[in-house]
Amino acid sequence: MSEDHHDHKPTGIGRWLFSTNHKDIGTMYLWFSFLMLFIGGGMAMIIRAELYQPGMQLIEPDFFNQMTTLHGLIMVFGVIMPAFVGFANWLVPMMIGAPDMALPRMNNMSFWILPFAFGTLISTLFMEGSAPNFGWTFYAPLSTTYGPASTDYFIFGVHLMGISSIMGSINVIVTILNMRAPGMTLMKMPIFVWTWLITAFLLIAVMPVLAGVVTMMLTDRNFGTSFFEASGGGDPVMFQHVFWFFGHPEVYIMILPSFGIISQIIPTFSRKKLFGYSSMVYATSSIAILSFIVWAHHMYTVGMPLAGELFFMLATMLIAVPTGVKVFNWTATMWRGSLTFETPMMFAIAFIILFTIGGFSGLMMSITPVDFQYHDTYFIVAHFHYVLVTGALFAIFAGAYYWLPKWTGNMYDETLGKIHFWISLVSVNVLFFPMHFLGLAGMPRRIPDYALQFTDFNQMASIGAFVFGGIQLLFLYIVIKCIRGGEKATDRVWEGAEGLEFEQLPSPAPFHSFTEAPEVK
Amino acid sequence: MFVSTELFAAAQMDLTPGVTAISQEVYELHTLILWICVIIGAGVFGMIFISMFKHRKSKGAVAANFHDNMTVEVLWTVIPFLILIGMAIPAAKTLIRMETPADDAEVTIKITGYQWKWNYDYMHEGFDFFSNLAKSSRDVIYAENNKDREGINYLLDVDNRMVLPAGKKVRFLMTSNDVIHSWWIPAFAVKKDAIPGYINEAWTIVPEPGVYRGQCAELCGKDHGFMPIVVEVKSAEDYAAWVSEKKGAAMTAAAGDNKVWTKDELMAKGEQVYAQCASCHMADGSGIPAAGFPALKGSAIATGPVAAHLDMVINGSKVNPAMAAFGYMSDSDLAAVITYERNAFGNNTGDAVQPADVKAARQ
């Protein structure tokens, strides 16, 4: 037995298959997410191509429904969530001065479940009959009594994703609570670590609920139960309550880590400490707690009692307070700073403004009587794409540009990064802003064909979509180019960067870092 | 590049104020909240842009050192909270008005969602009818030339409109026969889910006669995008005339269930009824086999024993959830459509199924 050298890397495919290294697993998560971005994005291109003009030109209505369903599921569970787990894997140990994640073998398993989960989900496209075609929210009874045969594969895939997420979040919690370097008290942790700690608790709380709802679907479909079947004494509305009890915390699972990333980047390029660190922590916690008592605002039109509608309206409006605090804090961090505008900062500023626009439309739809008009229209589609694309995805871009030099040891190509930013910024707004108008003018979501008065804004959106989708190939090129070489990054990478990963580790970060705990002042 | 630039000027960008007192209130709330958001947004984004232009390193800006300020932090927590209360009060008032049960309604209509059509049951008048996507729209869904879709209210027109009296309180009771649908007329600010096993309630008072259009708002399967809603509001007198005409038609239809039809009559009526089948089985009976919608042309059911054909249409398929049970249709409609399916598309079985056969098969 040879003694392991401290920078010994296993070689070949085994390095990846059997990896217990947080950096390699983080890399695999990020590449997986990137691959899924192109698959889910390809589906979005098919949707936007069909919607380019009225009438059915390219695909059949049922295939359109399969595309919207799989696009949503892949983007939520296959892109945004794994990307954030990838960031957590790479960064949490380096930010808290730990040598690795606390449970490295479980880390390996939680990643390697994902290709099987998504393989199962995507395989439904090649099965006889239809792939899942009931929307990513898979409301019963459309997904149970009326679901295609492939629905059972979808259920199995969702179970696998849930197992993966739960193991991942246990790992994050154990790592953060047990493996901090001496002196790294909770209130000294970088905000990114805080947001992930809270996200991980949300995941553990709601992933079993998702597993429960798909299990009830499974038994309804195959074993004669009637959880959601009205004719058997069941309740289709209960499906929505259970689904959204998972679903609303889920949307914060997809945004809290972006808050963390933005809270790391804005101070660096403002050369100024984050404004209101502790209020950021409290605001994040408040958002997480509130996320458990607002779920029914997704279902105002199901015919709830007045008292229920009032409660969920007021609780939902409350979320605007802590979310506002975060936006104000970022603004105050930039105020009287010394700003420079490298690509991560550009994406971070775009995030603040565009995410806030998504937040405003969210506030508008919290108002129950008005939401009756917005519900299930393109206004909703515009809203959640502003928070998830110009929100979560832009934060992922910002974070990738910000930490790529630390990960690879090379600077990315700044000119290409700026081109990627500007084209993305313009096209994403051409893509999603007109959807506000479409929704207000009365276009329902999830329709493959539309009345003529919706033509122009749909064409704008489609053109924006093709440009936005296409320019992400440039991002792929930038990432590959950065991995393969480029100007060497300094250890600190950015003039204003703070935190253990920039102050105490070289660039690129070695395969094993902090084998001895650093001293934290 | 744009195929319909002439429509661009007319394209609606804001919510409709609608035509009812409630829809006006909703529009005012929407406008109020929108402007509050615009003002807050202008303030916050303004600060960000000032920072971006004035506090940039290239202009020699040196970073200040503050990172906490209790006063402003309390202020920007409390002030938004107060603004929210200011929004919640009028919102709650409107909501309470909308949700007050319409026990004093003069007309009650039960709306039942089906894949993919609506049934309107005028409960106290004793008639009901189905409302399907208009044939003029269905025929041009796959048309290559966009001009073919102009001038027909494409996807927003139906064969049978819901008719309401102007100025009277109308109660809607929503339910569904299969999956969840959602009945929505933007001009009334009424959107309520039609859910199997539930009866939801909504109401409206439309002051002026007119035609108002909407669409199903909840994903309900393949033809979710093809089940529009059209409401025609008539004056009280015209409404009364329409009701008595409908009542007469209902009596005639009931009589049709008890008579013996000729094969030509069955075929003619069957072709009309078949429009409801054509969205899956296609107008020429070729179906979309790849998507799980079998062809009727030459099929074992449509050319085999009549009993099996009756069972399939009345009770639905036991293996394919896409084939719903159509037993809710009248005996004469079922007899006509089954006769049509057995003789059209070159099936030529020569069978003529009578309403009495359907009645017998139901038992």
Series of mean pLDDT values for 10-residue runs along chain B (363 residues): 47 91 96 96 96 92 88 92 95 95 93 95 92 92 90 93 96 96 96 96 96 96 95 96 92 83 89 86 86 86 90 87 84 91 89 89 83
Whole-angstrom Cα distance, residue B217 to residue A374? 10
Burial B228-262 (b: 16+ CB within 10 A, else e): bbbbebbeeeebeebbeebeeebeeeeebbeeebe
As a whole number of angstroms, the distance between CA A399 and CA B146 comes to 45
Q: Are residues B169 and B34 in the same domain?
A: no
Q: Are residues B354 and B268 in the same domain?
A: yes
| Cβ–Cβ below 8 Å for A440 and B13 | yes
> Could you tell me if residue B163 is inside a domain?
yes
Task: Compare CB distances from A459 to B2, B189, B192 and report the shortest one's residue.
Answer: B2
Select from B112, B197, B174, B191 the least CA-distant residue to A145: B197
Superfamily of domain A13-229+238-503: Cytochrome c oxidase-like, subunit I domain (1.20.210.10)
Say how far apart CA A135 and CA A39 lie, in whole Å: 17
The verdict on B211 and B345 lying in the same domain is no
Query: Rounded to whole angstroms, how far apart are CA atoms B353 and B340?
Result: 9
Range of the domain at B174: 107-255
Count of structural domains within chain B: 3
Alpha-carbon span A57 to A50, nearest angstrom:
6
Please tell me which of the candidates B56, B67, B193 has its beta carbon nearest to residue A302: B193
Q: Are B327 and B304 within one domain? A: yes
Q: Tell me, rounded to whole angstroms, the distance of Cα A248 from its chain centroid.
A: 13
**Using the beta-carbon criterion (under 8 Å), do B80 and A324 form an inter-chain contact?**
yes
Find tokens 């700026």 and name the residue.
A418
Distance separating alpha carbons of residues B300 and B295, to the nearest angstrom: 10
Q: Which of residues 296-315 of B touch A (CB under 8 A)?
A: none
Instruction: Please tell me the predicted confidence (pLDDT) of residue A6.
Output: 53
Reported ipTM exceeds the 0.90 cut: yes
Contact, A374 vs A380, CB < 8 A? Answer: yes
- Measure the CA–CA gap between A192 and B350, rounded to whole angstroms: 75
- Torsion angle, CA of B20/B22/B23/B25, rounded to 10 degrees? 130
- For residue B179, which residues of chain A lie inside 8 Å, CB to CB? 139, 141-142, 145-146
Residues B151 and B163 in one domain: yes
Q: How far is B81 from chain A (nearest CA, A)?
A: 6
Which of the 8 DSSP states describes residue B284? T
Q: In this predicted structure, what is the pLDDT of residue A442? A: 95
0.80 exceeded by pTM: yes
Among candidate residues B99, B115, B131, the one where a domain is terminated: B99
Q: Does A437 touch chain B (CB under 8 A)?
A: yes
Of residues A488, A303, A472, A335, the one with CA closest to residue A404: A488
Q: Does B242 touch chain A (CB under 8 A)?
A: no
Question: Can you tell me whether residue A489 is helix, strand or coil?
Answer: coil
Stated length of chain A:
521
Distance in angstroms (rounded) separating the CA atoms of residues A515 and A181? 11
Residue B1: inside a domain: no
Q: Say whether residue B42 is in contact with chain A using an 8 A CB cutoff.
A: no
Q: Tell me: do B287 and B356 sit in the same domain.
A: yes
Are the beta carbons of A338 and B143 separated by less than 8 Å? no
A58 touches chain B (CB under 8 A): no
CATH number at residue B285: 1.10.760.10
Q: Show which of residues 66-105 on chain B sit within 8 Å of chain A, judged by CB atoms.
A: 66-69, 72-73, 76-77, 80-81, 84, 87-88, 91-92, 94-96, 98-99
Of B13, B44, B63, the CB nearest to A337: B63
pLDDT of res. B293:
85
Helix (H/G/I), strand (E/B), else coil: A211: helix
Contact of A278 with A185, CB cutoff 8 Å: no
Given a contact cutoff of 8 angstroms between Cβ atoms, the answer to whether A502 and A415 are in contact is no
Q: Are residues B289 and B207 part of one domain?
A: no
Task: State whether residue B202 is helix, strand or coil.
Answer: strand
Say how far apart CA A220 and CA A159 lie, in whole Å: 16
Instruction: Tell me if A320 and B80 make a contact (CB, 8 A cut-off).
Output: yes
DSSP string computed for A377-436:
BHHHHHHHHHHIIIIIIHHHHHHHHHHHHHHHSB---HHHHHHHHHHHHHHHHHHHHHHH
pLDDT of residue B98: 95
Residue count of chain B, please give it.
363
CB B177, CB B248: distance < 8 Å: no
Helix-strand-coil split of chain B, %, nearest 5: 45, 20, 35
Q: What share of chain A is helix, strand, coil (3-state, %, to 5)?
A: 70, 0, 30
- Write the CB contacts of B38 (distance below 8 Å, at least 6 apart in sequence): none
Among B111, B137, B179, B181, pick the best mutation site for testing chain A contact (most A Cβ within 10 A): B179
Per-residue pLDDT of chain A (521 residues; tens, 9 = 90+): 344 445 567 888 889 999 999 999 999 999 999 999 999 999 999 999 999 999 999 999 999 999 999 999 999 999 999 999 999 999 999 999 999 999 999 999 999 999 999 999 999 999 988 999 999 999 999 999 999 999 999 999 999 999 999 999 999 999 999 999 999 999 999 999 999 999 999 999 999 999 999 999 999 999 999 999 999 999 999 999 999 999 999 999 999 999 999 999 999 999 999 999 999 999 999 999 999 999 999 999 999 999 999 999 999 999 999 999 999 999 999 999 999 999 999 999 999 999 999 999 999 999 999 999 999 999 999 999 999 999 999 999 999 999 999 999 999 999 999 999 999 999 999 999 999 999 999 999 999 999 999 999 999 999 999 999 999 999 999 999 999 999 999 999 999 999 999 999 999 999 999 999 998 87
Query: Residues B221, B273: one domain?
Result: no
Per DSSP, the three-state class of A103 is coil
Q: Are residues B29 and B69 in the same domain?
A: yes
Residues B265 and B349 in one domain: yes
Last residue of a domain, one of B48, B81, B99: B99
Provide φ and ψ at A29, rounded to 5°. Answer: -60, -45
CB neighbourhood size of A20 (10 A): 15
Q: Quote the pLDDT of residue A7.
A: 58
DSSP single-letter state for residue A339? B
Contact A500, A456 (CB under 8 A): no
Quick check: B127 and B249 in contact, CB under 8 A? yes
Report which of A296, A159, A193 is spatially closest to residue A241, judged by C-alpha positions: A296
**CA gap A382, A380 in Å, rounded:** 5
All residues of chain A having their beta carbon less than 8 Å from the beta carbon of residue B321 are: 145-148
Closest to B267 (Cα-Cα) out of B341, B331, B328, B359: B341
β pairing state of B228-234 and B162-165: parallel
**How many helices and strands in chain B, by DSSP H and E?**
11, 10
Please report, for chain A, the start and end positions of each structural domain, with discontinuous segments joined by +.
13-229+238-503
CB within 8 Å: A231 and B87? no
How far is residue A295's CA from residue A316's CA, in Å, rounded to a whole number? 9
* Whether residues B235 and B117 fall in one domain: yes
In CATH, what number is assigned to the domain containing residue B232?
Answer: 2.60.40.420
Cis peptide, bond prior to residue A508, ω within 30 of zero: yes
The C-alpha atoms of residue A197 and residue A257 are separated, in whole angstroms, by 9
Map tokens 């007469």 to a residue: B248
Please tell me whether residues B111 and B220 are part of one structural domain.
yes
DSSP A114-175: HHHHHHHHHHGGGSSSPPP-STTTT-TTTTTTT--TTHHHHHHHHHHHHHHHHHHHHHHHHH
**Strand ranges, E, within A341-380:** none
What's the pLDDT at B6? Answer: 47
Residues of A annotated catalytic, as ranges: 71, 100, 136, 164-165, 248, 250, 252, 263, 297-298, 323, 326, 445
Q: What's the pLDDT score for residue A501? A: 95
Contact status, residue A399 vs residue A453, Cβ threshold 8 Å? no
